């Protein structure tokens, strides 16, 4: 059985100090639990509800911090992109380009990401079925790039809530590519009246266990040493000091399946 993929890090690059602090711990735990690690942090947050929400410290500065993580710790790094122009820019600094769920149907974006030659991780839209994601994968492959992953991150369920359908894991795996489950964004409660997303972080472990048991190839999660002080997605991130216990449990489940 292949190593369990772990895509983990803070929601956004807040500073070099805190990004390196989180990376150091994530890398340590990834190695200890023999996981295939990809460090994640957004260099810019383009999909905010409120216009006064934090969007980043500056594109070049944030991307250079991600490149420093990549060089210092010898790990793959990922960030999300929002336009074809961003694909070429980010590809100079990171190994994996993440397509946000809301943009998973954007043909120009998918083709541009694929054309960089980088791994492309497509998040399944909250509005999309598992089967329709085949078309998103085909768009990347049409660029000549077969290095694609799909990430489940929940489906809209009424107003201001998401539900995770574990049936999507085997259905998306039919495409013959790795399927990841985002176990923090899947627990968001989007578009709250205050203009930012809520969350249900106490269910992170439950969703993670279910995902691994259902055959997911990896998990995606956001973590921060002090989630309440995080500048983005504070309500849904896993406290960094709880990451080790979660990984221990998830890798145990994975071994039991082998």
Those residues whose C-beta lies under 8 Å from the C-beta of residue 175, and which sit 6 or more positions away, are: 133, 134, 137, 150
What is the span of the domain harbouring residue 75?
5-257
Residue listed under structure tokens 């122009």: 85
**pLDDT at site 53:** 62
| pLDDT band at residue 217 under the 50/70/90 scheme | very high
**pLDDT at site 190:** 61
| pLDDT band at residue 210 under the 50/70/90 scheme | very high
Distance CA(18)–CA(145), nearest Å, equals 34
Q: Which tens digit of pLDDT belongs to each residue from 44-53?
A: 877 655 555 6
More confident residue, 97 or 160: 97
% the chain with pLDDT above 70: 91
Residue listed under structure tokens 């954007």: 106
% the chain with pLDDT above 90: 79
| Number of domains into which the chain is organized | 1
**pLDDT at site 48:** 54
Is residue 36 within 8 A of residue 218, CB to CB? The reply is yes
Own/partner pairs for 155-158, CB < 8 Å, 24+ apart? 155/126, 155/127, 155/128, 156/126, 156/127
Q: What DSSP designation does 77 have?
A: E
**Taking the CB of residue 57, how many other CB atoms lie within 10 A of it?**
18
Does 235 score more than 70 pLDDT? Answer: yes
Average pLDDT over residues 35-40: 98
Does 125 score more than 90 pLDDT? Answer: yes
Average per-residue pLDDT for the chain: 91
Distance CA(242)–CA(244), nearest Å, equals 6
The Cα-based distances of 252 to 16, 54, 123, 210, 234 in angstroms read 33, 37, 26, 13, 28
Residue 153 phi, psi (nearest 5)? -140, 30
**pLDDT at site 191:** 55
**Taking the CB of residue 31, how many other CB atoms lie within 10 A of it?**
12
| pLDDT band at residue 195 under the 50/70/90 scheme | very low
Q: Which tens digit of pLDDT belongs to each residue from 58-72?
A: 999 999 999 999 999
199, 219, 224: which is closest to 209 by C-alpha?
A: 219
**pLDDT at site 156:** 85
More confident residue, 121 or 54: 121
The CATH number given to whatever domain includes residue 246 is 3.20.20.70
Does 193 score more than 50 pLDDT? Answer: no
More confident residue, 115 or 188: 115
**pLDDT at site 18:** 97
Those residues whose C-beta lies under 8 Å from the C-beta of residue 166, and which sit 6 or more positions away, are: 210, 211, 214
């Amino acid at each position: 059985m292949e190593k369990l993929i772990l895509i983990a890090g803070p929601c956004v690059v807040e500073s070099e100090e805190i990004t390196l602090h989180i990376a150091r711990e994530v890398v340590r735990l990834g190695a200890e639990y023999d996981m295939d690690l990809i460090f994640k942090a957004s260099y810019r947050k383009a999909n905010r509800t409120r216009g006064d929400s934090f969007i980043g410290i500056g594109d070049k500065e944030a991307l250079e911090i991600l490149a420093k993580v990549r060089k210092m710790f010898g790990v793959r790094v990922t960030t999300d992109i929002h336009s074809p122009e961003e694909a070429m820019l980010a590809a100079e600094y990171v190994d994996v380009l993440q397509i946000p769920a809301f943009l998973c149907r954007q043909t120009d974006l998918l083709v541009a990401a694929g054309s960089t030659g980088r791994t492309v991780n497509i998040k399944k839209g909250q509005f999309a079925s598992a089967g329709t994601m085949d078309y998103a994968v085909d768009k990347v492959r049409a660029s000549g790039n077969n290095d694609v992953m799909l990430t489940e991150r929940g489906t809209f369920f009424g107003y201001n809530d998401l539900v995770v359908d574990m049936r999507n894991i085997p259905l998306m795996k039919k495409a013959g590519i790795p399927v990841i489950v985002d176990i923090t964004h899947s627990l968001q409660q989007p578009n709250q009246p205050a203009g930012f997303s809520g969350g249900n972080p106490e269910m992170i472990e439950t969703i993670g266990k279910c995902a691994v048991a259902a055959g997911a190839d990896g998990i995606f999660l956001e973590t921060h040493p002090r989630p309440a002080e995080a500048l983005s997605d504070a309500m849904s991130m896993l406290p960094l000091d709880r990451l080790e216990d979660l990984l221990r449990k998830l890798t145990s489940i994975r071994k039991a399946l082998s």
